[in-house]
Structure 1
Amino acid sequence: MTYELGNRTAVVTGAASGMGAATAELLAASGVRVALLARRADRIAGLAEKIVADGGQAIAVATDVTDSAAVTSAADAVRRAYGRVDLVVNAAGVMLPNPIAAGREDEWQRMIDTNVTGALRVIRAFAGDLIDTAADGRTADLVNISSIGAHVTFPDYAVYGATKAALTHLSAGLRTEFGPRDVRVTNIEPGLTDTELGHHIDNPTLSRQLGGMFEALGGLSAAEIADLVAYAVSRPRHVNLRQLVVLPTRQA
């Protein structure tokens, strides 16, 4: 399914794989000019080539959202290529579960830097674009990809859940700032979704546990989350789907 979203310009972080890549592809197929931001330059370059070959518009901008200067530089590159941005999708994220007693400060810092501070850097970089777009009477959207882990607790996922709870709360707070300026803020909380997030887990027990959950409950696809993003941003500009929780039926 595609949507009528022509003449819009989007930035999608985490576009090298999973929900970010699927969202970028669907937006491009719906007529959106898409800037792909992610660390893996080869992956987003390949995706940009595919999108263009399929008749869409896309550029790849290698960006590490944990690097403030890199995000600022990426924002400048996007504006040089496409002008003002009116749609931002924060899909970059990392999930590194382990017991708190394991003391994995390296993992804690990486999740905070990516899932929370990284999203903040991207929002700061493009907030002016969104506000100016809305002031001109056009649709402006910020979409944050959080997780059901923001409000459903799982053993050994405490830090990951805390970062996603922060992102969910940030989205709510931003609506008080952006809503009166006609900028929509949508927070999406997926349940079990088949992406590369689980591949980063270095705890064999937790890795097997996650695999067992997929076997027992099934999982959503990245394309299904992308469809939800595109649906939300295709609504009339006075309609804000503020909080969307999406789960596999057996998990619900």
Structure 2
Amino acid sequence: MSYDNLAGRTAVVTGAASGIGEAVAVLLAARGARVALVARRAERLTEIAAKIRADGGQALAVAADVTDETSVADAAAGVHAEYGTVDLVVNCAGVMLPHPVGARRSDEWQRMLDTNVSGVLRMIGAFTDDLVSAAADGRTADIVNISSIAAHVSFPNYAVYGATKAAVTYLSEALRGEFGPRDVRVTNIEPGFVESELRTHISDTDLSRQVEGMLDEVGALSAEELADLVAYATSRPRRVNLRQIIALPTRQV
């Protein structure tokens, strides 16, 4: 399987301090892309970027909060100053905070909406001109959004999280109408259970045990396996757009 089309590309990966985002950043760098790692945890980003560089890759740590417009704008300016035009944006940042809607945890609803939906929009908006310009110059240009199987399959107590991921899936579909005619690809990836920090966000002990029980029963994909899908989709010839990918552990139904 060839990943040659990733060499020389410039990527921005959100949620890069852990989990899928970290794995994506590491793999893209290993395949020859210059990678800007975006997340809130500056110290963790610095560690990962240093490891990538030690392994021969190019990496830039960019501490930013995707829920804040000014922070995203500053991050984009920093990436442009260091790397120039971006041709690959991978939106991995996300939070999962399950509770019954009747619990009225509006603080958590807002946090999920700001991160999972508005954060994706902010990042795409910040690099739209880059992506369109890269494509117009004949280069490959990609947006990859990490959604979730929860966009289609309802889970008790995950209504708001699922709604945010359904929004990302719909957004990805709609964006193809905007970007596809300008030769910018949009790929939406919907994973099932994945080993990541998301489940550590769960504050309710019973819900946490429920998740652990499901993972014990069906298993989980690794973050590296999801990263491989991102690398595969974005390394296809520029005329090929893998627009929708659902990836589940084999035992998850």
TM-score > 0.5, shorter chain as reference: yes
- Aligned ranges for residues 17-166 of structure 1 at < 5 Å? 17-166=18-167
Runs of 4+ in 1 over 3 A off after TM superposition: none
SS at match of 2:12: strand
| Kept in 2: contact 1:2–1:26 (CA 8 A) | no
* Aligned equivalents of 1:196, 1:97: Cα separation in 2: 14
Deviations 1:120-162 (A, max 9, x none): 0000000110000000111000000000000100000000000
* Aligned equivalents of 1:128, 1:91: Cα separation in 2: 20
| Kept in 1: contact 2:2–2:235 (CA 8 A) | no
* Aligned equivalents of 1:2, 1:59: Cα separation in 2: 25
* Aligned equivalents of 2:248, 2:2: Cα separation in 1: 22
Letter in 2 for 1:119: V
Question: Aligned residues, how many?
Answer: 252
* Aligned equivalents of 2:223, 2:2: Cα separation in 1: 15
SS at match of 1:220: coil
Corresponding position of 1:191? 192
* Aligned equivalents of 1:63, 1:223: Cα separation in 2: 23
* Aligned equivalents of 1:2, 1:13: Cα separation in 2: 24
Letter in 2 for 1:158: A
Q: CA RMSD in A?
A: 0.8
Q: Which residues of structure 1 form unaligned runs of 5+? A: none
- Deviation of 1:3 after TM superposition, in Å, equals 2.2
SS at match of 2:169: helix
Letter in 1 for 2:130: D
Corresponding position of 1:229? 230
TM normalised by structure 1 equals 0.99
SS at match of 1:12: strand
SS at match of 1:61: strand
SS at match of 1:187: strand
Deviations 1:207-246 (A, max 9, x none): 0000000100000000000000000000000000000000
